[in-house]
Structure 1
Amino acid sequence: MIVKCSRSSPNPGRARRGLLRLSPAALLAVAACSTLPDSGPTESVVLHAAKDLKSNPLGFAVLPITPSVAATLAAEVPPLVSSLDTTDITPTHNDRIGAGDVLAITVFELGSGLFSSGSTASAAQSSELNAASGGTTGVTNQTLPPTEVETDGSIAVPYVGRIQAAGMTPQTLAALIQARLGSKSQNAQVMVRIASDVSNTVIVSGEVHKPGRVMLSTAQERLSDLVAIAGGAIYPPEDTHVQLVRRDRTAATDLGTLETYPREDIRARPGDRIHVIYQPRSYTVFGAAGKEATETPFKSPHVSLAEALARSGGPADSRADPNAVFLFRFETPEVARSMGVSTPVTPQGVPIVYQLDMMSPTSYFLAQRVPLKGHDLLLLANAKTNRFYKFNQLIGALISPAITAAWVAK
């Protein structure tokens, strides 16, 4: 007697009439098949659920992974951090004066001048100024009180008036002040230094050891440099999400990508805000995999579908259907539309199930092109014969003691 185990029958009436004609042993077998445990559905159950409105309230679609689908998924990437560099082609300068900066202005004069009541210049400074002035002695210097750049970018300098300083370098501002003092002071020389640089800074916050304001230098630090200056990330690079806010735009990637791909590790600009977030990525495996169902961390910047299947042990020989490997994912509406999926959008995205046939050699190439995302779910479907094998094992476990006892009795 052969008993076929299945979850449902397309014709319940005929199934009931057939059960009435079965022998008690057959009825016991059918009952045992229907109650045997399983690690997941079969391929036919998943495909049937996609077409049944009652079983599919989300309206998910099942798409086989073809070369075109794999190409679409491979090109699906979040907004690249490097894309923020294309919005402004103006060269970045980290030595410009800006609103909020505090300036230290020192004026050097010869003989009796506007600032002659100040102290005598140092020997080295006097030597330089004497050489510039033809050897004249009696050089004095006066450091003005700390001068803060106003909100409108201007400063007030005694005997000079108000000057628009924002956007200038300290050297350019010094030359401008010196030129305006020319008719009022004897051979004045001016030095300007940014004592407190606020405008040329970025804010680094989140999961770093020393969050706060980081001043940019003329070395033009990159994003990963600023994370390092802030004490480094607390968590591993692949679990560290770096979000860059520049003006009214936002982009993000993981720290591992910044360290691996220099093109994404762009130079920071004054006013940038960098948020370092602990965001471990993982995927979940269910069904007839070679290993037990588990949540698996990425542990690397990128994981392909092929790598994820290998980490899970692949389809189990004794109970898996290699024709039916399913990837459950919420896609963005844009990607769903590009693949012709018209499923309604949910708060998480568009639900799509991708099917991979591992009995086809081509699928192994395609699986290498499909990148996994955080919270993806892999289901390795059970083979249809799995329940029949389990039933045989159950019957064997029940009958074997009786056979052994009868053999011993002889």
Structure 2
Amino acid sequence: MIASCGLPRSGPNKREILAGSVDQKGDAFVVAVTPAVARATAVQPVFGFSDSFRNAGVVASDMISSGDTINITVYENVKDEPLLGNTGQRVSGLSEIQVDGQGFIYIPYAGRIKAAGLTPEGLRQAVTRKLEDQTPDPQVSVSRRPGEGSTVSISGQAGLNGVYPIEASTRTLGTMLAKAGGVTVDPAIAIVRVTRGRYTGKIWLN
């Protein structure tokens, strides 16, 4: 007695596929792959950014935005009656000043100052101008800690999804993605979607 079994198959054969087609009252649409069909399906969608998107202003890595935290130190050239500090105190620190939603900060004796849109150096000059009429030759230093207004949110098939600050080393799309660990899919098929304000665009990664 001789017995045997059929060889395993990876899927249905041509006859079985056609038997389930709509033409045979099945529920599958079967399309013959001809040269014309191959050319039509080989067309890749064209992506890109609109002119309004590309012409949006460049965000400097050290530009102050709403939500940033500012630290200011003022050195005064008077000892007996300093403007900001106590008697005998020439150095005054104003720490953890948050830029409000309108882009302003408040400094005693200087009032409300528009900080958003300035660099720390620009803000230093603005504060100096406000104080120099009230205390002789003030020396001002300014430091900034980025808030939500100077960050990028990365989600999807990235290595490390999260919120990343815009820094001097991550001002381009490629470097920002690299900081997030790149993409977890084949770069040849990866599509990057970017939303900035009311503008949205998408491009192929490669």
TM-score where L is the length of structure 1? 0.39
| 8 A Cα contact 1:160 1:181, kept in partner | yes
Structure 1 unaligned regions, length at least 5: 1-37, 121-139, 258-410
Amino acid at match of 1:109: E
Residue number among 55, 67, 74 corresponding to 1:107 in the alignment: 74
The one-character-per-residue Cα deviations of 1:121-178 (angstroms, maximum 9, x if unpaired) are: xxxxxxxxxxxxxxxxxxx322103100111111111101112221112111111111
| 8 A Cα contact 1:204 1:230, kept in partner | yes
1:65 equivalent to 2:36? Answer yes
Amino acid at match of 1:40: K
1:205 equivalent to 2:155? Answer yes
Q: Cα offset for 1:78?
A: 4.0
Q: Cα offset for 1:185?
A: 0.9
The one-character-per-residue Cα deviations of 1:174-222 (angstroms, maximum 9, x if unpaired) are: 1111111111111112222112333221011234443211111234532
Number of equivalent positions: 188
- Between the aligned partners of 1:163 and 1:222, the Cα distance in structure 2 is 30
| 8 A Cα contact 2:53 2:200, kept in partner | no
| 8 A Cα contact 1:109 1:186, kept in partner | yes
Residue number among 242, 245, 255 corresponding to 2:192 in the alignment: 242
- Between the aligned partners of 2:84 and 2:145, the Cα distance in structure 1 is 21
| 8 A Cα contact 2:64 2:146, kept in partner | no
The one-character-per-residue Cα deviations of 1:69-94 (angstroms, maximum 9, x if unpaired) are: 94x766642423xx156524244123
Residue number among 112, 132, 137 corresponding to 1:187 in the alignment: 137
Residue number among 79, 85, 93 corresponding to 2:47 in the alignment: 79
Q: Secondary structure at the match of 1:87?
A: helix
Q: Could you say which residue in structure 1 is the equivalent of 2:14?
A: 40
| 8 A Cα contact 1:118 1:141, kept in partner | no
The one-character-per-residue Cα deviations of 1:389-408 (angstroms, maximum 9, x if unpaired) are: xxxxxxxxxxxxxxxxxxxx
Q: Could you say which residue in structure 1 is the equivalent of 2:55?
A: 89
Q: Secondary structure at the match of 2:128?
A: helix
| 8 A Cα contact 1:84 1:246, kept in partner | no
- Between the aligned partners of 2:88 and 2:91, the Cα distance in structure 1 is 6
Residue number among 194, 212, 231 corresponding to 2:181 in the alignment: 231
Change (3 A) 1:232 1:245: same
TM-score where L is the length of structure 2? 0.71
Instruction: Within 5 Å, give how 1:266-277 maps onto structure 2.
Output: none
- Between the aligned partners of 2:27 and 2:185, the Cα distance in structure 1 is 39
Q: Cα offset for 1:119?
A: 8.8
Structure 2 unaligned regions, length at least 5: 1-11
- Between the aligned partners of 2:110 and 2:33, the Cα distance in structure 1 is 75
The share of aligned pairs that are identical, in percent, is 27
1:98 equivalent to 2:65? Answer yes
| 8 A Cα contact 2:66 2:147, kept in partner | no
Instruction: Within 5 Å, give how 1:1-400 maps onto structure 2.
Output: 39-40=13-14, 65=36, 70=39, 76-80=44-48, 83-84=49-50, 86-92=52-58, 93-112=60-79, 113-117=82-86, 140-219=90-169, 221-238=171-188, 240-253=190-203, 255=205, 257=206
Measured on the aligned residues, the alpha-carbon RMSD in Å equals 3.7
| 8 A Cα contact 2:64 2:117, kept in partner | yes
Change (3 A) 1:85 1:105: farther
Q: Secondary structure at the match of 1:146?
A: strand
Q: Cα offset for 1:246?
A: 2.8
- Between the aligned partners of 2:176 and 2:156, the Cα distance in structure 1 is 13
Choose 215-224 or 194-203, whichever is displaced more.
Answer: 215-224
